[in-house]
Structure 1
Amino acid sequence: MSIMVKSKSIFLLFFIPFIFSACKSDRQNEMSQSLVIREQGSFSIGGTKKTVPGEFNVSNALDSAGQTFHGDHAYAFYQIPEQSRKYPMVLLHGAGQSKKTWETTPDGREGFQNLFLRKGYSVYLLDQPRRGEAGKSMVQATVSPLADEQFWFTQFRIGNYPQYFNGVQFPKDPASLEQFYRQMTPNTGPFDGKVIANAVSSLFDKIGESILVTHSQGGGPGWMTAIQNKNIKAIVAYEPYSGFVFPKNELPKPIKSSGLFGELVGTEIPLDDFKKLTMLPIIIYYGDNIAKNPSKVWNSDHWRSGLEMARIWAATINKYGGDAKVVHLPEIGIKGNTHFAFSDLNNIEIADLLSAWLKEKGLDK
């Protein structure tokens, strides 16, 4: 595959090798074609600034008096294809992840970044405040080298470590698993949904009307961003868990689970704010190996509670005239997906499914 980056006066051609199996589908063959990028770049967005009282003294430059500290911004990397559609896609990662989650998959295939560039969408990849390349936190934290990767293997439903789920859409070679472990990224400050939503909202102020795609923990800040910014044309959420908001006095009962994080609880917000979520189409996707009924298999039961809460939430949105839909992939015949459907072995199928929904909603112009 070759990627061509074009500007007004400079033509750059990058050759990125990918190894494919001998049996390629027509769609996989398309991946070997040149991808022409008209513009790309990066910037920080949002955040706050602290100024220490006093006067800066160049002779004592290590003293903080009179100096500033910028932090709690988001970081955005963007690419605009040569023939771009009207609405860009903004991709916000989940817990323990960064913008890397949308890039090349652990086994070297194209992720959502390139798949949607090929479909003609401009793509903005975000690192949320206090994560990845937006690591300057306004709040102090300690990053510890905690050994927990087998927990994440299990939590993210690749399998029940060390066993993979039967038919799982995750590559089973050791190199891919190592790549997956190495893309985990620590917080440099406490998770704060409001801080994230403020920074993401600043991005939508800058780029205008766009589609927001969230993953997992990014779901809650996604709802909050849509409440405060009318430039969000739609929300696509992959496996949100925490952060579901409900109108005041309509909070559902906590959903108990054998998962390691206890019961799942929603959050009350004013009805007027909640109604803002009814003004745009929303779709939520969940993968496979989620329990249908309460189970002692903690990872499957954890995500059962998330799926159940999502269905209650979507029904509440629709009760107020909204357009929210929850899609459980196995129920429509797409099986084996993990918590990362957008980078699983069948991510082309997952991307095509999303494309069809965008077309249905008139967002593919």
Structure 2
Amino acid sequence: MKSFGKPLIIEGQGSFAAGGTIIHEKGTYDESHALSPEGQEKHVDHGYVFYQIPKNARKNALLFLHGAGQSGAGFETTPDGREGFQTLFLRKGYKVYLMDQPRRGRAGSSGIEGKITPTADEALWFDIFRFGHYPHYFQNVQIPQGEEAENQFWRKVTPNTGAFDPKLTASVLSDTVDRAGDTILVTHSQGGSPGWLAAIKNNKIKGIIALEPGVGFVFPEGEVPPPLPSSSPFGALKGVAVPAEDFDRLTKIPILMIFGDNIPETPSPHGGEDNWRVRLKEARLMAETINCHGGDAQVLHLPERGIYGNTHFLFEDKNNEEIAEIMDRWIEEKGLGN
């Protein structure tokens, strides 16, 4: 059993469903035909949120949104049993909200049909997550290794019960923020896309920290860069156009995008690394566009700061406390830490 830090005083904790819709079937319910949907309802497409509020909490909450194939569980405990971002940021005095997005994890009630196929694909994701070249780890990699850590990591993967919908997820994020109050979003990978859209919708979002955002980079209409070709299994990366007045909202809040190690600067035949070469490049283009429009966006590539070995899972890597400290200092520097 891993040892933990000093006891925390939690003044409040709980969970709630955020957003969602209700399917209403026409007709009248008949008990004798209870298996028929006629006249019945179904609550769907909500998010699940677990929260904890420490004693003497700071004003701004942190709302964490996971990436593809993940849930809020990824922020709870690392694969080797150390404290995850949930606890590390509680110790720093933040109210912490963890979301399972609609159609994922504990929010699996989908409003559309889906299909779950048990496909063996962990070698693909091993490479995409930049652990190494399957089955060999990079020499300097920070992700916990060993049979039990690997077992714990892969068992956190959870499927979509319906197609990922960034606009739906953004709406659920916004509903959560309305309940949490002033908030800093912390998004990971696929979660970056609804994060931008939620910040456009809700002015209670005071900043965004995007951990290796992977899809949905936004640009004003007419300023979307050409697609970036890649040897990634997912092909070329394309930006998303939004109205200029929507994009302007992103220039009103500070934004930090953080990327880890083993990302090449030039095209690579290794799809896992090249996948992140174009995403790091697109992140820089998006930040540059935000700043040209008067905003405050920064891309932090950790090796440029002398921090090496980080994977796509910065919050589960062995140096996750160092990453959390970088985030906390940035929040303070931007005047959001009170």
Where on the TM-score scale, by shorter chain, does this alignment land: which range? Answer: over 0.9
User: Which range is displaced more, 295-304 or 305-314?
Assistant: 295-304
Q: Are 2:72 and 1:72 aligned?
A: no
TM-score by length of 1: 0.91
Q: 1:290 aligns with which of 254, 260, 263?
A: 263
Alignment of 1:260-271 (within 5 A): 260-271=233-244
Verify: 1:99 aligned to 2:66, yes or no. no
Alignment pair present for 1:55 and 2:28: yes
In the TM superposition, what whole-angstrom CA distance separates every residue of 1:92-139 from its partner, at most 9, and x where no partner exists? 000010001101000000000000000000100000000000000000
Offset at residue 153 of structure 1 (A): 1.1
Q: Secondary structure at the match of 1:342?
A: coil
Q: Which runs of 5+ in 1 are unaligned?
A: 1-16, 20-30
Question: Is the partner of 2:315 in helix, strand or coil?
Answer: helix
Confirm whether residue 18 of structure 1 aligns to residue 23 of structure 2.
no
Letter in 2 for 1:350: I
SS in 2 for 1:59: helix
Aligned to 1:350: 323
**Greater relative contact order, per chain length (Cα 8 Å cut-off, separation 6+):** 2
- State whether residues 127 and 273 of structure 2, in contact with CA within 8 Å, keep that contact through their aligned partners in structure 1: no
In 2, Cα distance between the equivalents of 1:351 and 1:269?
31
- Partner residue of 1:320? 293
* 2:189 maps to amino acid: S
The correspondence of residues 80-119 of structure 1 with structure 2, limited to 5 A, is 80-119=53-92
> Equivalent residue for 1:248?
221
Aligned-CA RMSD value: 0.9
1:204 aligns with 2:177: yes
2:306 corresponds in structure 1 to 333
| Letter matched to residue 220 of structure 1 | S
Q: Secondary structure at the match of 1:343?
A: coil
Distance in 2 (CA, whole Å) between partners of 1:206 and 1:38 is 17
SS at match of 1:126: strand
State which structure, 1 or 2, has the greater radius of gyration over its C-alpha atoms. 1
State yes or no: 1:310 paired with 2:294. Answer: no
Question: 1:280 maps to what in 2?
Answer: 253
Structure 1 counterpart of 2:165: 192
The TM-score with structure 2 as length reference comes to 0.99
Aligned-partner Cα distance in 2 for 1:262–1:199: 29
C-alpha distance in 2 between matches for 1:272 and 1:187: 32
2-side partners of 1:207 and 1:356: how far apart? 22
* 2:59 counterpart SS class: coil
SS in 1 for 2:9: strand
Matched, 1:359 2:332: yes
Rounded to whole Å, the distance in 1 between the matches of 2:240 and 2:84 is 32
- For the pair 1:168 / 2:152, whether they are aligned, the reply is no
| Aligned-residue identity in percent | 53
Which amino acid letter does the alignment assign opposite residue 72 of structure 1? D
